[in-house]
Structure 1
Amino acid sequence: MKTALVQLSSSDDPDENLGKIQGFVAEAASAGAGFVLTPEVSNCLSTSRRHQNDVLKVESEDATLAALRAQAAELNIWLLIGSLGLKTQDADGRFANRSILIAPDGEIQARYDKVHMFDVQVTPEETYRESDGYRPGDRAVVADTPFGKIGLSICYDIRFPYLYRALAQAGARILTVPAAFSYVTGAAHWHSLLRARAIENGCYVLAPAQTGVHQSGNGKPRKTYGHSLVVSPWGEVLLDAGTETGVFVFDMDDSAVDEARRKVPSLTHTRQFEGP
């Protein structure tokens, strides 16, 4: 299966971002990709909750989603929108960070709301409180496709291996990790975490990422790590996109999942035990 990761440097303007995404998706399809993936918060990367409230929409009214559903149908491709920031009906006004898998007919095949919120202090100057603006999801999701079951996740989820074990044991052969990873934590942990999740579960890990400095007229600039990765079920880095935006195409061989799991069948060796 020819697959493409789209590496973006999204701004806080959804209309501007949509044009760039559509151009990259068309480029990926022209290169023969039947499955295309974009990063986390493809539609709007902003540090301003006020600005997000002004520009984000509920799912049914989101122009990015509508346009990309139409494009997926036109190009006859599977498209994972890594995530969109979307308004919800929550009483506290928090948004959803939602990954959406679109089938080649333009219909939504699966939705996943990010479970683990990035509430951290990376350095004295770099603090994140994702849960202030986004409410966490509460459901793991595995989606059926003709090229294998996909376990959906988003960014900070990668630090919680029990989620990926649950996805793999539910049949996932591909794990998607769209991200807008902090530059500091990315340099320290990104490659190691993604390789570990692939090795532990004998799965492909596909991780399209945001990259560069995201300037904003409505909040502090933010820097993300880039390095969109494809990791094989044996833990090999098959593709590293570096730090430039663009389309990165590779061939995904489903038999590699079976081979890795034959060599080390750890998914069948899980045991129950009493806690310490």
Structure 2
Amino acid sequence: MKVALVQMRSSREPARNVRDAEALVREAAATGAAYVLTPEVSNIFEPDKARLRAVIRSETDDPLVAKFSDLAKEFGIHLHAGSVAVKAADGRIANRSLLFGPDGKVMARYDKIHLFDIDLPNGESYRESATYAPGEEAVLVQLPEARLGLCICYDVRFPRLANAYAAAGAEVLTYPAAFTVPTGEAHWHVLLRARAIETGSFVLSAAQGGEHDGGKATYGHSIAITPWGEVIAEAGTEPCVITAEVNPAEVALARQRIPALRNARDFTLKSI
């Protein structure tokens, strides 16, 4: 399966993001890719939470969702909106991954499970859960060529999710992201390669990259990694399209060489 990863630099203006995303998806489809992935928050990159709440729409009214449905049908591809920020039922925001089938219909939805809540040593705190509603369900999707486990950004720091997907038969793990530059420089490659190696899975991540409206920067480096942990495609920080080949036979071979999934055992923990 030929895959394409779309790297974006989403802005605070949804209409502009739809235009930019459409151009890049068209470029990706022209490569012959059967599956195209875009980054986290493809529809809007808005650091001001009050403005974000005011601007976003429901999934059914979001213009990028409508455009992606049309593009998937036009090109007959699986088009994966890595995530879009949409209104959730409880009044908060859903960070939602949407996978469109070749008929233009949404065939899978995944809401980001793990949210970034932290209390810093200097007394500051950050609560993503105050704005976003967490997902409760992991989603495994069967494509004609491979089975996908859907994740979003911060999920990469939780190997239990990746292992659950792999144990259930996932051959590809997707991590659309908007990593900050400091955490990207420190952890991006090692985390994504670790998830690939420990599960014997392909890992695909389409990322936000560069300096966005308001001066906030994201790390970029959209990446495709084999089940053996090898990087087979990687972007820089500019908006672009990269491609790679995903062969499920490589998954079977990696899991045969290192049968970690089969060798895993339950255990108890004793504290002394």
Question: What's the TM-score bracket when you normalise by the shorter of the two chains?
Answer: over 0.9
Deviations 1:223-259, CA, capped at 9 Å, x for gaps:
1110011110000111111111111112222211111
**Percent identity over the alignment?**
48
Determine the structure 2 residue equivalent to 1:260.
254
Determine the structure 2 residue equivalent to 1:11.
11
Q: Is the 8 A contact 2:177 2:208 kept in 1?
A: yes
C-alpha distance in 2 between matches for 1:200 and 1:60: 37
Query: Which of 174, 177, 188 is 1:176 aligned to?
Result: 174
What's the secondary structure of 1:262's corresponding residue? helix
C-alpha distance in 1 between matches for 2:121 and 2:245: 38
- C-alpha displacement of 1:119: 2.5
C-alpha distance in 2 between matches for 1:190 and 1:127: 23
Query: Which of 216, 223, 234 is 1:222 aligned to?
Result: 216
User: What is the root-mean-square deviation in Å for CA atoms of aligned residues?
Assistant: 1.7
In the alignment, structure 2 segments of 5+ residues that lack a partner are none
Determine the structure 2 residue equivalent to 1:95.
93
C-alpha distance in 2 between matches for 1:123 and 1:70: 48
Amino acid at match of 2:220: G
C-alpha distance in 2 between matches for 1:120 and 1:8: 27
C-alpha distance in 2 between matches for 1:250 and 1:54: 38
Q: Residue 192 in 1 paired to residue 186 in 2? A: no
In the alignment, structure 1 segments of 5+ residues that lack a partner are none
What's the secondary structure of 1:139's corresponding residue? coil
Determine the structure 1 residue equivalent to 2:114.
116
- Mark the CA change 1:12 to 1:123 in structure 2 (over 3 Å): closer, same or farther: farther
Deviations 1:94-121, CA, capped at 9 Å, x for gaps:
1000001111111111110001112247
Q: Is the 8 A contact 1:118 1:129 kept in 2?
A: yes
- C-alpha displacement of 1:137: 0.7
What's the secondary structure of 1:247's corresponding residue? strand
Amino acid at match of 2:193: R
Query: Which of 259, 264, 270 is 2:264 aligned to?
Result: 270
Q: Is the 8 A contact 1:177 1:206 kept in 2?
A: yes
Q: Residue 66 in 1 paired to residue 60 in 2? A: no
Determine the structure 2 residue equivalent to 1:137.
135
TM-score of the aligned structures, taking structure 2 as reference length? 0.95
- C-alpha displacement of 1:127: 6.9
Q: Is the 8 A contact 1:9 1:210 kept in 2?
A: yes
C-alpha distance in 2 between matches for 1:110 and 1:8: 22
What's the secondary structure of 1:184's corresponding residue? helix
TM-score of the aligned structures, taking structure 1 as reference length? 0.94
- Mark the CA change 1:32 to 1:272 in structure 2 (over 3 Å): closer, same or farther: same
What's the secondary structure of 2:110's corresponding residue? strand
Deviations 1:158-191, CA, capped at 9 Å, x for gaps:
0000010011111110000000001110100000
C-alpha distance in 1 between matches for 2:119 and 2:209: 20
